[in-house]
Copies of this chain bind each other. A is one copy, B any other.
Amino acid sequence: MNEFELIARYFDRAPLDASVRLAVGDDAAIVAPTIGCEVVATVDMLVEGRHFLPDVDPEALGHKTLAVNLSDLAAMGARPRWALLAGALPRNDPAWIDPFARGLFALAAAHHVSVIGGDTTRGPLNLCVTALGEVPAGTALRRDGARAGDDIYVSGSVGEAALAIAATERRTHLDAATLAHCRGRLDRPLPRVALGLALRGIATSAIDVSDGLVGDLAHVLERSRTGARIELARVPTHPALAQRRAGSERTLALACTLAGGDDYELCFTAPAAARVALAEVARELALPLTPIGTVCEGGGLVVLDEHGVPLATLPRAFDHFAATA
């Protein structure tokens, strides 16, 4: 099976709607944007040994490779439409490529995303998806719109993906059910696409929690030129993390909760006037939207502990180029 046969067999599938004028098989793909919409574009590169382990389930990896991009579009309030996949593969192994493609296309289909093009080559395993979405002009959620007085929310719960990594690295022990749950969060993140769409016109800013809550929220504050106070006790986490916060594994629990990446929840801000609307969104999506603090004029990001005392140091978000990374 050569490069072209590989693409034809696994990655050349019928587009999901008529917006795709030309898909896989030419020098480039052609799509027709919706009149009145802007195009939202993002790219993420996943590298073996850094973003996933060599023994990762290829179907889960296919899911995650697209999911992290759809999460970025969700954080913009964009409707995902099209994706391109570039991949370097160490070998041409159908037993790996087949489930990988299955995982990727299953998530694509679930979100009506057409895979319109790509590139395959040999090399150390590296997967790079570009996702394209649309928003009605001017309605995208951005990082720079938070205003003093806004409530800060996080969807779902955070820290479980990091807890799964900690358990895998034997830095903590989880019972089988909790481990399975946390591994599911890590391996098959659910991009909050429907939430992003629902937050248009309500949220003043949004970001996805991919590197860790405090680091990602700090990006919003920096772009919005504001500060924030959040309350540790209000940050929604799994009971396994809440328990650890009260015991000898407090440091680990704080790191997972505040700086654990890979959750792909949305952190967003909204004025107090939006509380009723947000409660309705949470109900409709059956997804908790938890207020965890408030945007301030300045003062950086302060995290208050269970006694209302600011944490002296905040766990660091993941940084691919930090000296300790």
CB neighbours (8 Å) of A38 from chain B are 21, 30-33
User: Beyond A319-B2, A320-B122, A321-B6, is A116–B26 a contact (Cβ under 8 Å)?
Assistant: no
CB neighbours (8 Å) of A143 from chain B are 25-27
* A183 smallest CB distance to B (angstroms): 22
Q: Is A128 touching B27 in the complex (CB atoms < 8 A)? A: no
Q: Is B4 touching A28 in the complex (CB atoms < 8 A)? A: no
Q: Is A29 touching B51 in the complex (CB atoms < 8 A)? A: no
CB neighbours (8 Å) of A28 from chain B are 40-42, 72-73, 75-76, 78, 131, 133
- Tell me, in angstroms, the Cα distance from A119 to B50 when the chains sit together: 14
Q: Which of B47, B76, B117 contacts A88 (CB 8 A)?
A: B47
Does A11 sit within 8 A of B, measured CB to CB? Answer: no
Chain A 23-67 interface mask (CB, 8 Å, partner B; 1/0): 001111111110100111111110111110000000000000000
* A174 smallest CB distance to B (angstroms): 28
* A319 smallest CB distance to B (angstroms): 5
A-B contact pairs, 23 of them (CB 8 A): A21-B140, A22-B140, A27-B73, A28-B73, A29-B41, A29-B42, A30-B41, A30-B135, A30-B140, A31-B39, A33-B39, A39-B39, A41-B130, A42-B117, A43-B117, A44-B119, A45-B86, A45-B126, A47-B122, A47-B124, A50-B123, A122-B325, A123-B126
Please tell me the number of chain A residues within 8 Å of chain B, measured between CB atoms. 72
Does A172 sit within 8 A of B, measured CB to CB? Answer: no
Q: Is B4 touching A319 in the complex (CB atoms < 8 A)? A: yes
- Tell me, in angstroms, the Cα distance from A73 to B26 when the chains sit together: 10
Does A110 sit within 8 A of B, measured CB to CB? Answer: no
Does A18 sit within 8 A of B, measured CB to CB? Answer: no
Q: Is B41 touching A117 in the complex (CB atoms < 8 A)? A: yes
User: Beyond A2-B321, A223-B25, is A126–B41 a contact (Cβ under 8 Å)?
Assistant: no
Does A200 sit within 8 A of B, measured CB to CB? Answer: no
Copies in the complex: 2
Does A184 sit within 8 A of B, measured CB to CB? Answer: no
- A residues neighboring B (CB under 8 Å): 1-4, 6, 21-22, 25-33, 35, 38-45, 47-51, 72-73, 75-76, 78, 82, 84-88, 92, 116-124, 126, 128, 130-133, 135, 137, 140, 142-144, 206-208, 223, 319-322, 325
Q: Which of B31, B206, B208 contacts A41 (CB 8 A)?
A: B31
CB neighbours (8 Å) of A43 from chain B are 84-86, 117-119, 128, 130
CB neighbours (8 Å) of A41 from chain B are 28-31, 82, 84, 116-117, 130, 132
Least CB separation from A31: chain B residue: B39
Which one of A45, A116, A325 has the greatest number of beta carbons of chain B within 10 Å?
A: A45
